Chain A
């Protein structure tokens, strides 16, 4: 197997607010070179780097909005998010938890800081990732996979190196907890200082990592600091990360779907006509109703 080299290291861009509760650095698709096509099947990645939100009686967040055509994956590192949707589902995503929501044919939801967290205030750190669906699954039934940290399958690294949380895909002999529509690897490497992990993905998969905490040395050569994103080349399979200090790193890899992408706002479809249909359906209440 051949080494997978770094294509580029990307520093976080200035943050912007999504609603009033998510202060995010956008990486996909806003950064030059991280387009939806290049990162396929990952079509959006917003990163709320660690940020202190002062106490608030009114929970901050994002009001009612629809999604169609893809999955939203929310990974919580600090703080808590409460969500509600138009089918009556609701829940709380806490530290270390992951919510994998298949919006598919369409869902309306809202996301807010959880009430108690909001009242106390505190550090907040999250990732929201959008994973595209292949054309044949875009109009399938919406569903949720709520993964608590305790329920996520884990691989213990040797020599007290740390742990790999296998959210999706596979690490060594440990299979991911979430089911996916296409081959997707999503893993949190929680490494102790000096801990080292090796990863191997097919060369044609689009592979990246984001350093959420601490810093790591990639392939024994490049030191990547906190909040930086690494895109790998589509050549070679194997890379390593080694924690220069205690570190948390999100690893993402996926087989490209290689279908046309038509995206506007919260809808990601294959053609302009399907986008127009999505707007029409949303406006006519076909996604349901959710009180703001």
Chain B
């Protein structure tokens, strides 16, 4: 039931079978159909979601009713509203499933227990948090100053297979550009890189 998550923890954090066995009791798994919400604005986020299979997105809706995609999470990614969970505050985010998705629900008890029994897990989790901050800084910087092409190139580096799994308008929303601009960027890249007849 937790096979991918177990493999992930063993490879990334060095958690042993015994340690995982101790933690297993506080984990649960849930399936969401495409379009179903895992979190809505105004709710407090009590979990981190590890994607076993499928695809999630987190997004906000602005005052004009427009969606802005913050993050995608496919297999082996985590998704959550960290600040809502940590500060016990209502979330600004919506999280929904773009494909039928099976997630592992990870609660605070898991984090506490894992940190208590495994030093290597503690170390890894710290690194994950720092990496998340690095990613957010980069993303803010790209959104403020980078061209649409640079943002797109960064996106395909981070999410190589998502261009085939999500509609263009969602990628455009993540990049903060219009679908028309995204289409121009892709056309221009093809002009530069296509070596066919």
Contacts and interface: CB of A to CB of B under 8 A. Distances in A.
Contacts of B161: 264-265, 279
Interface in A50-68: 65-66
A266 interface: yes
Interface in A258-292: 264-266, 276, 279-280, 282-289, 292
Interface stretch (B5-13, B82-90, B182-190): B182-190
Contacts of A264: 161
B194 A292 contact: no
B168 A288 contact: no
Contacts of B191: 285, 289
A282 B163 contact: yes
B163 A288 contact: no
Nearest to A284: B193
Contacts of B160: 276, 279-280, 283
A244 interface: no
A292 B156 contact: no
Contacts of B192: 285
B164 A265 contact: yes
Contacts of A266: 164
Interface residues of B, number: 20
Contacts of A279: 160-161, 163-164
B186 A289 contact: yes
Looking at B163, B189, B193, the one whose CB has the most chain A CB atoms below 10 A away is B193
SS of A interface (majority): loop
Given A265-B161, A276-B160, A279-B160, A285 B190 contact: yes
SS of B interface (majority): helix
Contact of A286 (B156, B165, B188, B193): B193
Contacts of B163: 279, 282-283
A66 B194 CA distance: 13
Interface range on chain A (Cβ under 8 Å from partner):
10 to 19
A16 to B, nearest CB: 11
Contact of B194 (A265, A276, A283, A289): A289
B62 interface: no
A86 interface: yes
A184 B191 CA distance: 37
A289 B190 contact: yes
A271 to B, nearest CB: 15
Looking at B191, B192, B195, B196, the one whose CB has the most chain A CB atoms below 10 A away is B196
A202 to B, nearest CB: 37
Interface in B147-170: 156, 160-161, 163-165, 168
Contacts of A65: 164
Interface in B38-74: none
B164 A285 contact: no
A89 to B, nearest CB: 10
Nearest to A65: B164
Contacts of B156: 280, 283-284
Contact of B196 (A87, A265, A280, A284): A87
A288 B164 contact: no
Interface of B: 156, 160-161, 163-165, 168, 183, 186-197
14 contacts: A87-B197, A264-B161, A265-B164, A265-B165, A279-B160, A279-B164, A283-B156, A284-B193, A285-B187, A285-B191, A285-B194, A286-B190, A286-B194, A287-B194
Interface of A: 65-66, 86-87, 264-266, 276, 279-280, 282-289, 292
In the A-B complex, the 8 residue pairs with the closest CB atoms? A285-B190, A289-B190, A285-B189, A283-B156, A279-B160, A288-B194, A285-B193, A286-B193
